Structure 1
Amino acid sequence: MTVRLDDLDRQLLALLRSDGRAPVSKLADILGVTRGTIQARIDRMLAQGAILGFTVRAREEHDGSGVRAIMLIEVTGKSTSAIVRRLRGFPEIHKLHTTNGAWDLVAEISAASLQDFDRVLREVRTIDGVLNSETSILLTAV
């Protein structure tokens, strides 16, 4: 389903990305429209799938604990869908992307310790259809 967004929709989405908990009345004031217009736009975008939900974005580097990494994954043949289903079962994989080029998937990993991180790498690499992987640990956000 193709979702068509106009300028007001895009401005509203940008505000919601910045603060998903902003009151509808505040959004309406910022955008110069009525509260009803904002609520109707949000309801429509939810129904159409342009907005998938509302969540908290926590500052991951704030506590300094754990290991964060990016894993590039190459898969064999037409096994991508099955591998994606398996990878979604790992609680340490926070985001998973398809991509183009030499790698087929990009996984964002966050593990509590180096031991957990090592276990995740081993388990991902043993999935049938995973041909190759390359992982980079994220050090300091700049």
Structure 2
Amino acid sequence: MDLDDLDLALLRLLLEEPRAGHREYARVLGVARGTVQSRIARLERRGAITGYAAQVSPEALGYTVQAFVHLHLAQGMLDDVTNRLAHVPEVLEAHSTTGEGDVLCRIAARGNAHLEQIVQTLLALPGVVRTRTEIALRGRVPYRVLPLLQQVRGER
């Protein structure tokens, strides 16, 4: 996807000041509000902007343990298993992977006993052969995209 300097500047503002609003973005960028609105709509259509949501801490909801669970699957079961994972509320995200395991899940649990229950639920899914679990001790670098955007801007 080709992004020009205005697109990159707008994306940066959206990441840094997500609640500022179109009028403020237009003022900072020195363009018309209609330009901001049309650029944002285009970035959404092209998939550069994938959503707008508050980031809620699982810990604030009582889910104090986060873990990464590698799922080893039976041949040909990837789609079926991932469809079932979408119905397990404690699965925060899941990615098909290369290397050890076929799917890597990020899990939120209320404690270690709850985590064990979740792992047992995952093991009971048709197509899951075995799991390997790693408990996260503390988050060190949160999910972020801004450094990538800054790198792309620096390459221009």
Structure 2 residues not aligned, in runs of 5+? 141-156
Give, in angstroms, the shift of residue 63 of structure 1: 7.9
Amino acid at match of 1:55: A
Amino acid at match of 1:114: N
Q: Which residue number corresponds to residue 70 of structure 1?
A: 68
Distance 1:17 1:76, change over 3 A: farther
Q: Which residue number corresponds to residue 154 of structure 2?
A: none
The count of aligned residue pairs is 140
Question: Structure 2 CA distance, aligned partners of 1:82 and 1:15?
Answer: 39
Question: Structure 2 CA distance, aligned partners of 1:74 and 1:12?
Answer: 41
Give, in angstroms, the shift of residue 34 of structure 1: 2.8
Give, in angstroms, the shift of residue 60 of structure 1: 4.7
Runs of 4+ deviating beyond 6 Å: none
Amino acid at match of 2:111: S
Structure 2 length-normalised TM? 0.75
Structure 1 residues not aligned, in runs of 5+? none
- Over aligned residue pairs, what C-alpha RMSD do you find? 2.4
- What is the DSSP-based 3-state SS (H/G/I as helix, E as strand, rest coil) of the residue aligned with 1:50? coil
Q: Which residue number corresponds to residue 102 of structure 2?
A: 104
Structure 1 length-normalised TM? 0.81
Question: Structure 2 CA distance, aligned partners of 1:115 and 1:136?
Answer: 14
Conservation of the 8 A alpha-carbon contact between 1:20 and 1:55:
no
